[in-house]
Amino acid sequence: MTNAEDAPIGNLPTREAIEAQLARILNSETLATSDRSKAFVAFVVRQSLLGKGAELKELVIGTELFGQSGFDPKTNSSVRSAANRLRAKLAAYYAGEGWDDNVVITLPEGAYVPRFSLKPLSIQSGPPLDELKEPDNGSNGGSARKLAPARSVHRILRWVGLTFGMVLLAITVGVQFIHLRTPVSKPASPVVPKIGRLFAESTSEGKAPTRIDLGYPTAWLLVKPGGRILYAIEPFGRNVIELGVDDLRIKRTFHLPHPARGAALGGDGKHLYIGSPDALVMVVDTSLGSLERLIPSGRPVFDLTVTPDEKKIFLAMASGGLIRIMTASGEAATLSEFACPLYVAMDGEGKRLFVSYECGGPGGRAGHDAFEIYDTSSERTVGVIRDLPMVGGRPSVSPDGKLLLLDGNDACINEAYDHAGCPEVPGHVFHLVRISDLRVLKSFSRPQDTSHAAAFLPDGSRLIFGGAPFVVMDWARQTVDEIAPIGDQSYSVFAFSRAGARTFAASSVTGATELLVFDMEKQGCGLSTEKLVNHYSGDGTLDDSVGVSALKAAGAVQFAPGLVGQAFQFNGTATLEGSGDATCWPCAENWTLSFFAKFDSIDGEMTLLDRWGSPSSRWRHRIFKAKNNRLVVQVGERSDGLLISGSAPVQVSQWYHVALVTDRTRGSLYIDGISQGYVDLVGPDAAPENRGTATFGASRSKRAVFHGLLDEIAWYERALDAREVMTFARSRSRSACRP
């Protein structure tokens, strides 16, 4: 679609609605610091509304929007880089503050003409939720109403789908069939604390995660409300360990009368509910550490969850269907007779129940098992997701209750399945779903050796994937922030302490008895984020933790324990390169490059960074250790004679903070927060869209190779002042920030 009509047709918004949505996006927090992204989206949307969508080519945008005369798309990637940034920003906006906006503006991959659409409408049937109240006795009238077979609902909805047209189906991003019996209410948004990196403290030099031998494998880790106590529960065993979150001491061990399968804490943490294959639920009084009662379930329990008020327990019984038990009376009711519900989860308020099936489930099929959503009050289904590549994985709910992470398990790996809708084959597939309308925001793959576990971090911004090693991913940007080596043992069970201070990881594999404890990065010890445009942490990944690009490796790049988490390790055989979006692309006259460096050897000249290929002398510079062992910055070409030399020689095995700060008139070198001098910069930037290429670990000709570590490489779209440089240089020496 290239322009909007004055009246909506099918799923197309009006011109006025598009203009209003554009204003919301331009004024959003997501794009607040991205002037280029705001200019880009405003330009392409307004050109489309004027009927000029067909003219939105790379050459037109580079010339008219960026003002680059003689723009050549073959040699200048600035438009493609800006488009990629905008796509990431729009995805983050709609997954966050714009999650309930009615109008959706997207920029398709490989194109510059925006698409405008309305969110899918809910197809409603049956009485409203307020007419589905339980009887006063809390027993649902003695029996639960059996749900209508999915096949009859299928026939009704197919007829309705034809009436509304295929547009409704096209926008569901790979979900060919989603139906809602009643609209899903907007969940409350609790305040979620922002946390730092999970493994930065435990993977730094001289540090390691704490390892606690529990004596048996662990399938469930549950943190008691208040965050002071952790429960570790043995799979198919009879032991529950109570561990202090702060002192990491085992307080006591509960011994269960039956083997455990499935566990959940009550809302106030006073009771622990543990299912059993012996067809019952054990209720443990956590204050006494003893069994309070047994509740028969009629069939073996596979998984369970409990409402925060502890009035209802929901049980996934595999071949026994989906069961609800009233906690006070023990009265049970079948909510679904479809076979193989394997896992259940609940939002934080206890309003929505999420059920993952194998064996097809309601309307599912092999390799595309169904996923069902229930209203816990009425005990009726309010939504079913079908036709995604799914094989009964455990769901995870984001801390704010807005998102679901669905684990497709081996749906895109097993050759017995058709792999329809798989983003990658083979690959372990996951799906990110917005709960309010069941829209699939992303389907993506992780390496197929990823263990069958993933979870949201406490702030909801990232995901952790189990296995060996651990992987932390920013779900909105699809970038890897951390890869933490933990040895050969795979860990797949996670829990987090209050405010995200610690991460706990365990394994349910026979013989794996250790609990791993990682201290997270302390608040106030990370980088300043004001106009931070690129950050390469070296934490096992080449990805940018701020932008959407990555450094490229020439040779086998290695990682080693660094000053802050892991660091890039250079041994003379590999280099890193970055250009365009990856190396301060939006920066203009004012910018800062910052990193920590440590030398394993000081023999001969060594290049830490060489930025070359730009016609502008402002962007050509080299940071190297001279033969006299002093750090030197060379601005422009060697013949220009613009050099800044450090005041003292560097030493082996010592960390140095290096910052190159450039404003309109001069470039300044700082070492460990101390100014080493400056050079005057002559003339304007000759080619503002060509920043050249940055090579780390050697010169552009791969000479003067570096032997040592680089950590926390960062570019800022501003010139840091001397106080800021000093503060950051000394940040890791402060006692509060020492790993």
pLDDT of residue 71: 82
Q: Which residues of 661-690 are buried (b: 16+ CB within 10 A; e: fewer)?
A: bbeeeebbbbbbbebbebbebeeebeebbb
Distance CA 737, CA 570 (A): 26
Q: Strands (DSSP E) along 475-557, which ranges?
A: 479-484, 493-496, 502-506, 514-519, 532-536, 552-554
Q: Which two three-digit tokens encode residue 636?
A: 């422009």
How many angstroms separate the CA atoms of 315 and 344, rounded? 7
Q: Which helix (DSSP H) or strand (DSSP E) does residue 726 occupy?
A: helix 722-729
Beta bridge partner(s), residue 658: 595, 671
> pLDDT value at position 451?
56
pLDDT tens digits for 486-536? 988 889 999 999 777 899 999 999 999 999 999 988 777 778 888 999 999
Type of residue numbered 635: V
Q: How far is CA 19 from the centre of its chain?
A: 30
Query: Which H helix or E strand runs over 559?
Result: strand 558-561
Tell me the pLDDT tens digit for each residue of 264-305: 999 999 999 999 999 999 999 999 989 999 999 999 999 999
Residue with tokens 């909510």: 335
The end-to-end CA distance of the chain, in Å, is 53
DSSP-based three-state secondary structure for 654? coil
Q: Phi and psi for 650 in degrees, rounded to 5? A: -85, 160
CA distance 708 to 538: 13
DSSP state of 47: H
How many Cα atoms within 13 Å fall on the side-chain side of residue 737? 17
Q: Per-residue b/e over 549-584, b at no fewer than 16 CB within 10 Å?
A: bbbebeeebebbbbbbbbbbbbbeebbbbbbbbbbb
Is the pLDDT higher at 80 or at 378?
378
Q: What would the two tokens of residue 208 be? A: 């390691």
Please determine, for residue 127, whether its predicted confidence score (pLDDT) is greater than 70: no
Asked if residues 503 and 496 have their Cβ atoms less than 8 Å apart, the reply is yes
CATH code of domain 532-737: 2.60.120.200
DSSP string over 413-473: T-TTS--TT-SSSS-EEEEEEETTTTEEEEEEEE-TTS-S-EEE-TTSSEEEE-BSSEEEE
Contacts of residue 61, defined as CB under 8 A and 6 or more positions apart, other chains included, come to 40, 43, 44, 79, 82, 112
Rounded Cα distance between 411 and 366, Å, is 9
Two tokens, residue 442 = 């992303």
* Cα angle value 490/493/496 (rounded, 5°): 125
Is residue 189 very low, low, confident or very high in pLDDT (cuts 50, 70, 90)?
very low
Residues 614-651 have pLDDT tens digits of 766 667 889 999 999 999 999 887 766 789 999 999 99
CB-based contact 584:717 (threshold 8 Å): yes
Tell which wins on pLDDT, 213 or 478.
213
Q: What is the pTM of this model?
A: 0.77
Element (H, E) at 632: strand 631-635
**Tokens at 304, concatenated:** 């369970």
Percent of the chain with pLDDT over 90: 58
Give the per-residue pLDDT at 120.
54
Nearest Cα neighbor of 363 from 148, 182, 146, 154 is: 154
- Contacts of residue 22, defined as CB under 8 A and 6 or more positions apart, other chains included, come to 41, 42, 45, 46, 105
Determine contact, residues 435/447, Cβ cutoff 8 Å.
no
Closest-CA residue to 293 (of 302, 301, 284): 284
Mean pLDDT of the chain: 84
CA nearest neighbour of 11 among 181, 159, 170, 179: 170
Q: Which two tokens stand for residue 627?
A: 């033969």
Which helix (H) or strand (E) is 106 found in, with range?
A: strand 103-106
Other Cβ atoms within 10 Å of 296 Cβ, number = 12
Q: Does domain 210-519 have CATH number 3.40.50.300?
A: no
What is the per-residue pLDDT for 9?
40
Q: Per-residue pLDDT averaged across 185-191, rounded?
A: 37
Rounded Cα gap, residues 619 and 639, in angstroms: 15
Instruction: Check whether 376 has a pLDDT greater than 80.
Output: yes
Query: Closest Cα partner for 161 from 436, 390, 386?
Result: 386
Q: Where are the beta strands (DSSP E) in 219-340?
A: 220-223, 229-233, 239-244, 250-255, 263-265, 271-276, 280-285, 290-296, 303-306, 312-316, 322-326, 332-336
The number of angstroms, rounded, from the C-alpha of 385 to the middle of its chain's C-alpha atoms is 22
| pLDDT, tens digit, 9 for 90 and up, residues 543-592 | 998 877 899 999 888 999 999 999 999 998 899 999 888 888 778 788 99
Predicted local confidence at residue 180, as pLDDT: 35
Give the whole-angstrom CA distance, residue 461 versus residue 477: 10
Average pLDDT of the segment spanning 351-359 = 95
pLDDT value for 689: 56
Q: In this structure, how many other beta carbons lie within 10 angstroms of the beta carbon of residue 84?
A: 18
What span, in angstroms and rounded, lies between the C-alpha atoms of 700 and 374?
Answer: 60
